[in-house]
A and B are shown apart, each in its own frame.
Chain A
């Protein structure tokens, strides 16, 4: 790789500077070299991915309708998939965030230590289950049970647009996919929140308790304000995971290709997610439809990037506020 070469070979005219540096310990030099090298590799890899997606995706932007499941323009095609992606991710977060925060609080502040440690392990273990397993579980276990629930929802709450139906008996809808995603992001959000909750300064917890706060009041007065930015970034990380998750969604969600932009959660009319759509369509794709899929991948790349950026900005801003 050319860029690492330039790091290794200092230009000869900077000889004196190099001499001065030789007072540096070898350990420092080796560490600095490795760190710079690693950082360069990461940047190069990231740039490589971005360039690949752009170059290969560009032809997809002007593809014929038959390469885009009959959509007239790429914007229309991508928009539906973006909607599907965001809908699944939002369902996942709406379910997972309160659960994770509750779980993290139980582990950090409520459960006795003998119980908290194993509970933490179990939650961490959820992160180690492969997505395929979640996919199977979603199809074979969760799906049928959700199907029954969907039929009930359609009959009794069908007047709410969310449950308009027709209910999918297999239960393999965006709602079920969102629930599976929720379980997959739960350990991420829980682990980060738990760490941050546990770091709340004793000083502030005791300030609240000494005023006669109950444990929950203490959590609201001392723990949450301290952990707010961490909770936001944990949620954003979970969102990143939910946006990009492919296998489980591709297996669980029986969405019809690009589908419709609809709020209906219990039928299979919703669009697929970008990642799952790529995974399903790619094996049969030829010619410009490959470019179309890659272009949709670029869209996902941009969204995930934006989410991470937003998370960092929020964390940086509230971090400043706490240290004032």
Chain B
């Protein structure tokens, strides 16, 4: 189910503004890939181009190639809606649907596929997804209550449950812990460890310790200068990036000398 992603010569634009330039990388299946780098260097932009969420913004476009398991993501006739059903996303701020119960939030994506679900089938999906997101024990007695009534960390795990309920091939996470307290953060990090046996996970993080803890491979993005596009400086196994990076700028960033 999990798939690898090949990116070659990717340029990402907002209208005429080139935000990210010339990215090449291969993201392995069933692994955790982390992106680090200073603010504004295009980590979110790049992540969102991986499931075609980028083009939701008016004028936003992409040049280059992204191939998921042999299929060109931006090829002719590829429906962005179908892409997003296969490549799930978790955002920086937890965003459960405010008018929906916990139960309905988990099923939101499944219901989009429009086929009628039996109650027993729906119950199974909800339980499996909430267990997968390590949230089942905390909410199983109040599935009918609104998702907004949960704590921030629980809401974020609810969003993860919602994303994995449709059994995507890849899970993208954009700073999923940056709005959370340390305990919730560690719950989500544990979860990422468990999820990688089934999914290809790509995570953007501001927190270098987090990248070191959860990821197998790390990409360091940086700006060439003010007003210049962001680019991928280094992409290596996480251990190497943190112990013995190829690039001086990576070392400077990791040792806290800038950024």
Contact = CB atoms under 8 A, between A and B. Distances in A.
Interface of A: 112-113, 203-204, 206-214, 217, 221-222, 225-226, 321-322, 324
22 contacts: A204-B97, A207-B95, A209-B84, A211-B112, A211-B162, A211-B163, A211-B166, A212-B81, A212-B85, A212-B109, A212-B112, A212-B166, A213-B112, A221-B108, A225-B97, A225-B98, A225-B99, A226-B98, A226-B99, A322-B99, A324-B148, A324-B149
Interface residues of B, number: 30
B98 A211 contact: no
A7 to B, nearest CB: 43
Interface stretch (B70-78, B86-94, B214-222): B86-94
Contact of A210 (B58, B84, B100, B149): B84
A86 to B, nearest CB: 31
Contact of A324 (B51, B89, B91, B146): B146
Given A113-B58, A204-B97, A204-B98, A211 B149 contact: no
B160 interface: no
Contacts, number: 67
A207 B97 contact: yes
A211 B85 contact: yes
Interface string B110-142: 001000000000000000000000000000000
Interface of B: 51, 53, 56, 58, 81-86, 88-89, 91, 93, 95-100, 108-109, 112, 146, 148-149, 159, 162-163, 166
Contacts of B99: 225-226, 321-322
A273 B84 CA distance: 53
Contacts of B162: 211
A321 B53 CA distance: 29
Nearest to B100: A225
A206 B91 contact: yes
A322 B98 contact: yes
Contacts of B89: 210
Kindly name the residue among B56, B58, B95, B109 whose own CB sees the greatest number of chain A CB atoms within 10 A: B95
